[in-house]
Structure 1
Amino acid sequence: MRKLAAIRKIDGIIPIEGADKIETAAVGGWKVVCKKGEFKPGDLAVYCEIDSWIPHAIAPFLSEGEPKEYNQVKGARLRTVRMRGQTSQGLLLPLDVLPKDILDSGKAVGTDVTEILGIQLWEPPMDGSVAGDQKGAFPWYVQKTDEERIQNLADSFEKLKKLTWNVTEKVDGTSFTAFVFEGQFGVCSRNFELKDTAANFHWTASKKLRLEEAMKTYSAGNFDFAVQGELIGEKIQGNCYGIKGQKLLVFNIYNISEGLFLSWENVEKLCEELKIETVPLVHSTYTIPSEYTMDSLIQFADGPSALCNKRREGLVFKDAGRTNSFKIISNKYLEKQRDNA
């Protein structure tokens, strides 16, 4: 479960040239613009990640005029913003925003306070054809994927430089999973197995690709497995790729029988056999340069998409054994999203 809000230590304070009232706080790999003098290095604070929906009750200053409402909670969404030339991602709140009993219990650095503060993950409204009708919970035998953002891995950054990475383009779509398990075929969104309805994009894409037939045939002579990817196109995330209809791009194949993810090489081979596409490969064997800082690597994620003549959303890094992974969302992409909102 993603920690949208946690108790974090302020690692440093960075002045902003020409700014008298604001400065930048460093929290792990995140940079947050805050009021000058509000925090100092070593202080503990509540850090809230971007895309958090912050209740108006704990941060009324985020709303101009009447606050908006999301899932029946008045508040504001945290976005990537740029202030006086400095990219700011997230929000820092003093510890006294927490209930007294929590403060008295002496919560440690890293403590998740998302639920305590009533913070939610903001997600864009979804077309009914994308959301689909729920058949049941996401299958317990398929491992979900949700890579950690690099900014939350500051403590292990130097160790990451010692690994060799497979790097793919992060695609801005909606989560898709199709599986074969004990002879049964199913299709899922991020959190639910979906009913087979004519209007649902996930099932429509699956049938167009004849996935049920192809996956059952392969499974019969090999192993039960799940195909995981992003569905992109019309009525999905604004269709930033300008695609007509919908398209599936695979980034993972999970071997259910053995409980492990296939290597990228085997993902490509199996996708070729199933006649489905993968997400664009950027680097097959990438090593983070020894001189790179966290900021250098984040800037590395900026670049053009291989799918269209626009900026890519970011990059996903996975090691050869598929046991370590992280993602970088391009700051320039996020800033462009804000400008177009």
Structure 2
Amino acid sequence: MRKLVTIQKVKNILPIENSDFIELVEIMGWKCVVKKGEFKIGDFGIYFEVDSFLPIMEKFEFLRKSSYAKNDIMGEGFRIKTAKLRGKISQGLFLPLKDFPEYKNLAEGTEITELLNVKKWQMPEVEGAAGIEIGDKPYGIPTTDEVRIQSSQELIDDLTGKPYYIATKMDGTSCTIYFNNGQVGVCGRNKEYKETTASGYWKLAHLYKIPEKLTGLGKNIALQGEYCGEKIQKNRLKLQKPKFFIFNVYDIDTATYYNYRDFRDIIAHLGLETVPVEEEGESFNYSLDELLEKANGKYPSGLDKEGIVIRSQENTEDGKFLSFKVINNDFLLKEK
């Protein structure tokens, strides 16, 4: 699960050319613009990741001009986004720990997202009405939310030397379609939806005959992927009809994921489409900087791709896999 707000230590300080007022600090794998002289190497502070949505509080009012946001889902507050200042990318917000004395004794890495009432920024994503909610996602099917590698650099070491693959991160909305003991259901990121002709999720399922295909297969599984198309996000793929790019197959009976080989085989058998795989390899050996470079690029439409997802080909002992995402900085800078 992504930790939006944590106690972190300054690893390095980098100057910004021709600036007397700001500089860069390195926290974990991130770089943030801060006031010049505000931090020394080794100082602790509070790091707010990109997509943190901060509440209306006096100590955050300095963000009003640059970061105030409001919508029907989130209410009003201050949204942290990737920014570019004096030619340098700033990814997140880093504030001195002295401004939050109530947290001064907490250890490095401690999460304080809920203590500060910070939420993850969300926008309506689904074409038309998502449908009528009938409950939470059932049968313990997990919600997908890859960690950004800058926040968990140890994953690079964990994956090094292991078989891996790199897939394009598609810019849509999360969708899960499952079959369990004769029942087919369709879910968004967290909720299950009633079958109606108005539900975009169900339209997608029927477009590709997924209920019939899963029923014919007869396995208790959930297909998880990205639902992309017109009126979803900004349709950066310029699709004329909805598409379902699958990135997981989850076994409901065993509460485990299919490994890479079995995942590819079953999606091919069903006549469906996986997320685009950019690279496969037997021994992962990339640095953070190399991955950030690899995340750059375009979709076939010519627009900036969202980034990449890196995963192990084989599952871990608990039936999961090593995985993380790397977001394209060009994509982040243009995000609204």
TM-score between both structures, scaled by the size of structure 1: 0.90
Which residue is 1:170 aligned to?
Answer: 169
* Structure 2 counterparts to residues 266-281 of structure 1, below 5 A: 266-281=262-277
Match of 2:296, SS state, is coil
Does structure 1 conserve the Cα–Cα contact (< 8 Å) formed by 2:139 and 2:252? no
Query: Distance in 2 between the 1:97 and 1:198 partners?
Result: 52
Contact 1:130–1:236 (Cα < 8 Å) also in 2: no
CA distance in 1, matches of 2:67, 2:310: 41
Structure 2 CA distance for aligned equivalents of residues 66 and 95 of structure 1: 21
> What is the CA distance between 1:330 and its match in structure 2?
0.6
TM superposition shift of 1:231: 0.4
Partner of 2:213: 214
Match of 1:122 in 2: 121
Cα deviation digits, residues 182-220 of structure 1 (max 9, x gap): 22111100001111121111101111111112102212x
Q: Which residue of 2 aligns with 1:61?
A: 62
Counterpart position of 1:9? 9
Identity %: 36
Pairs aligned (count): 329
**TM-aligned CA distance change 1:25 to 1:276, over 3 Å:** same
Q: Which runs of 5+ in 2 are unaligned?
A: 316-320
User: Which consecutive aligned stretches of 4+ in structure 1 deviate over 4 angstroms post-superposition?
Assistant: 70-73
Matched, 1:24 2:18: no
Alignment partner, residue 318 of structure 2: none
Q: Classify 1:24/1:250 alpha carbon distance in 2 versus 1 (closer, same or farther; 3 Å).
A: same
| Counterpart selection for 2:298 from 304, 313, 318 | 304
C-alpha deviation, 1:158, in angstroms: 3.4
Provide the rounded CA distance (Å) in 2 between the counterparts of 1:9 and 1:17: 24
Against the structure 1 CA distance between its residues 23 and 190, is the aligned structure 2 distance closer, same or farther, given a 3 Å change threshold?
A: same
**Bigger shift: 109-118 or 226-235?**
109-118
Please state if 1:240 is matched with 2:241. no
Query: Is the aligned partner of 1:316 residue 2:315?
Result: no
Distance 2:83 2:251 in 1: 40
Q: Please give the secondary structure, in 2, of the residue aligned with 1:88.
A: strand
Further displaced range: 177-186 or 228-237: 177-186
Alignment-mate amino acid for residue 241 of structure 2: G
Q: Distance in 1 between matches of 2:23 and 2:139?
A: 45
2:79 pairs with 1:85:
no
**What's 1:43 paired with?**
43
Aligned residues of 1:7 and 1:112 also touching (Cα < 8 A): yes
Instruction: Find the aligned partners of 1:205 and 1:234 in 2 and give their Cα distance.
Output: 12
Structure 1 residues 265 and 156, CA gap change in structure 2 (3 angstroms): closer
1:72–1:216: structure 2 CA closer, same or farther, 3 Å change rule? closer
Q: CA deviation at 1:137?
A: 0.7
**Mapped partners of 1:270, 1:334: distance in 2:** 33
Q: Secondary structure at the match of 2:263?
A: helix
Alpha-carbon contact 2:169-2:306 (below 8 Å) kept: yes
Counterpart secondary structure, 2:135: strand
Distance verdict in 2 for CA 1:242–1:32, change over 3 Å: same
What's the secondary structure of 1:335's corresponding residue? helix
Write the mapping of 1:176-191 to structure 2, written as runs, cut at 5 A.
176-191=175-190
> SS where residue 237 of structure 1 aligns?
coil
- C-alpha separation between the residues in 1 aligned to 2:209 and 2:47? 45
- 8 Å contact from structure 2 (residues 67, 79) kept in 1: no
> 2:52, 2:118 within 8 Å by CA — same for their partners in 1?
yes
Query: Residue 259 of structure 1 aligns to which amino acid in structure 2?
Result: A
User: Aligned equivalents of 1:21 and 1:168: distance in 2?
Assistant: 40
Deviates more, 1:173-182 or 1:253-262: 253-262
The letter of the residue matching 2:110 is T
Post-superposition offset of 1:2: 2.1
Task: Give the structure-2-normalised TM-score.
Answer: 0.91
Alpha-carbon deviations, 1:245-272, whole Å to 9, x = none?
3111111111222222112232222112
SS of aligned partner of 1:238: coil
Query: Structure 2: which amino acid aligns with 1:230?
Result: E
Cα deviation code 1:14-45 (max 9, x no counterpart): 11122211111101111101001111111111
Aligned to 2:331: 333
Structure 1 138/318 Cα, relative in aligned 2: closer, same or farther at 3 Å? same
- Partner of 1:26, secondary structure, is strand
State the distance in 1 between where 2:223 and 2:209 align: 13
Does the 8 A contact of 1:56 with 1:62 survive in 2?
A: no
- Residues 285 and 67 of structure 1, relative CA distance in 2, 3 Å threshold: closer
Residues 7 and 109 in structure 2, CA contact (< 8 A), matched pair in contact too: yes
**Structure 1's 218 and 99: CA in aligned 2 closer, same or farther, altered over 3 A?**
farther
Partner of 1:224: 220
Contact 1:163–1:319 under 8 Å retained in 2: yes
3-state SS, counterpart of residue 239 of structure 1: coil
Cα distance in 1 for residues equivalent to 2:68 and 2:245: 37
CA root-mean-square deviation: 2.1
